[in-house]
Amino acid sequence: MLKNIGDYFAIVCALINAYRPLFIADISKDNAIADRMLGLATQSNNIKTYIDKLKNKSDKSLKWTLLNANHLVKDFPRMTFNELNDLTLGTFQLKQAKKYAVEHLSNDGSFNIKVAKQRDDLIRAQIQSRHKNAILYDIWVQYDQKEILGWYCRCPNGCRVIGCCSHIASVIWYLSFARYHPEALRESASSYLNSLTDAQNYSDVSDDDGNESDDDNSQTLYTLA
């Protein structure tokens, strides 16, 4: 069968092309995106270079202050979803960004970042890996009031300049878009656990005969025999 798999693949592709709708309906921006990617391919990550200098103490260190970004960092550029899509060069990172951002929210709904007094154009955040709970990735984003100027993340894909990793996308997505559109933030599955009550917190079921009131019955726990 392996020797025929190429033919089978070609047949399946032909059937999809003939009878299924297009996977990508709008290709009007493809050439512009390709040109932009080619232009970015020759650029280096200036934020990574700067952070490496801080690490090596060849540049003046920064003192970071933890802030709740919900109502702060007001000079961070506000962006539309289409503008974010152009920045990330695709929707995959933005789809992942929602998940990372919601998980990054604390129980009181705050979204914590760090700022430095020495540089008002740079923010820092930590996003937990979705693959390994023990790993936190440091993220830096440079910006001005009009646009995002650069980024760097310490994850394996975090130093690229052609698009960005999902960790970086989550911070940019929240600060530039989601905090102005609360409906974009979906409830994380883990938060629903707060609405559950441990069965041990209920009183034991009485062994008396069944003369309990309806109110008493409402507290009775049922188990499978």
pLDDT tens readout for residues 74-91? 889 999 999 999 999 888
Is residue 218, in this structure, part of any structural domain at all? Answer: no
CB 191 within 8 A of CB 102: no
DSSP state of 45: -
Summarised one tens digit per residue, pLDDT across range 124-136 is 999 988 777 778 8
Residue 185 binned pLDDT confidence (cut-offs 50, 70, 90): confident
Give me the number of domains the chain comprises. 1
Per-residue pLDDT for 167 more than 90?
A: yes
Is 111:65 a contact under the CB 8 Å cutoff? no
Identify the residue with better confidence: 13 or 2.
13
Tell me the mean pLDDT in the region 2-29: 84
CA atoms within 13 A on the CB side of 184: 19
Is 193 inside a domain boundary?
no
Residues 79 and 152: their CA atoms lie apart, in Å, by: 20
Let me know: does 65 contact 115? Beta carbons within 8 Å: yes
C-alpha span between 40 and 47 (Å, rounded): 15
Residue 49 lies in a domain: yes
> pLDDT tens digits, residue range 135-156?
889 999 999 999 999 999 999 9
Identify whether 202 is part of a domain: no
Which residue is listed with tokens 């609405």? Answer: 195
Q: Is residue 90 part of a domain?
A: yes
How many angstroms separate the CA atoms of 127 and 136, rounded?
A: 6
pTM exceeds 0.85: no
221 found inside a domain: no
pLDDT at residue 218 in the model: 46
Residues 6+ apart with CB under 8 A from 77: 143, 144, 145, 146, 147, 148, 176
52 located within any domain: yes
Domain that holds residue 180: 45-187
> What is the per-residue DSSP string for 92-134?
HHHHHHHHHHHHHS-TTS--EEEEETTEEEEEEEEEE-SS-TT
Position 23 in a domain: no
